[in-house]
């Protein structure tokens, strides 16, 4: 059995980070969205939004930007959350890959008001600074210097706070996903990339180090594990 070293973040490349056809990307993103649903992957992000809604006087509308939005399934789930709670929102999905934003738009219902943007988040200048910046399964695609830059970008641009929903680097989720992805016949790219993503992900000490490098102080952010196999970083700004 494959027994990689989880003490260090792996320097590996995912197939979906390489050029591929739009239809291949669409099939992969659909399977990732399916995995997200089956593993309750939206729960940490929605818990963060609930905490914001409970403790803050929300602006009208609440502008939420999803960095590295991919298939857009997180934003569509947030749109459902906002409608159920009658919270007016302005939702922006941003991705570097124009195929991803096109696929996300195609996958959204006609009544959706999500705005899709193709841009590099690290150099993006939003016409209106968002109140919240979210990301899901995005951070592990970046190098550590890029993550430090991303943290700084969010700290500068997000008025109320930000939330990173990513993977936890550990052997159990690595081996479980390898078996799970084959049993339910996920796309071959996803079967390959999922374990690689876990090996490229982080542990709390990594986030502490990168947050310090981004000039964040202890107490300004919280590192939160969520089952299964998620490690999240939350920042709620105080007036």
**pLDDT tens profile 187-227:** 999 999 999 999 999 999 999 999 999 999 999 999 999 99
Residue 91: strand, helix, or coil: strand
**Alpha helices (runs of H) in the chain, residue ranges in sequence order:** 22-38, 43-55, 73-85, 98-107, 144-157, 171-183, 188-200, 204-213
Residue 19's pLDDT band, with cuts at 50, 70 and 90, is very high
Q: What are the pLDDT digits (tens) for 121-130?
A: 999 999 999 9
CB-CB neighbours of 19 under 10 Å: 8
Q: How confident is the model at residue 1 (pLDDT cuts 50, 70, 90)?
A: very low
d(CA 109, CA 103): 12
Domain ranges of the chain: 15-236
8 A C-beta contact, residue 151 and residue 163: no
What pLDDT does 33 receive? 98
CATH code that applies to domain 15-236:
3.40.50.150
DSSP 155-190: HHH-SSEEEEEEEB--HHHHHHHHHHHHHTT--HHH
CA distance 129 to 133: 10
């Amino acid at each position: 059995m494959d027994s990689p070293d989880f003490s260090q973040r792996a320097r590996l490349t995912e197939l979906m980070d390489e050029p591929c056809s739009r239809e291949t990307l669409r099939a992969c993103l659909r399977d990732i969205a399916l995995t997200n649903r089956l593993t309750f992957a939206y729960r940490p992000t929605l818990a963060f939004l609930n905490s914001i809604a409970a403790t803050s006087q929300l602006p009208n509308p609440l502008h939420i930007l999803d960095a590295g939005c991919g298939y857009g399934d997180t934003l569509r789930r947030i749109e459902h959350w906002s409608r159920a709670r009658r919270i007016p929102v302005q939702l922006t999905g941003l991705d570097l890959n124009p195929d991803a934003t096109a696929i996300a738009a195609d996958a959204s219902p006609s009544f959706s008001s999500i705005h899709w943007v193709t841009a590099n988040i690290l150099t993006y200048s939003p016409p209106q600074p968002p109140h919240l910046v979210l990301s899901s399964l995005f951070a592990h695609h970046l190098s550590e210097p890029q993550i430090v830059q991303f943290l700084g970008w969010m700290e500068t641009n997000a008025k109320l706070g930000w939330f990173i929903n990513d993977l936890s680097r550990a052997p159990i989720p690595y081996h479980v996903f390898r078996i799970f992805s084959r049993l339910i016949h996920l796309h071959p790219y996803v079967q390959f990339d999922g374990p690689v993503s876990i090996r490229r992900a982080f542990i709390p000490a990594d986030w502490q180090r990168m947050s310090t490098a981004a000039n964040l102080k202890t107490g300004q952010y919280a590192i939160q594990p969520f089952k299964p196999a998620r490690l999240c970083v939350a920042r709620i700004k105080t007036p």
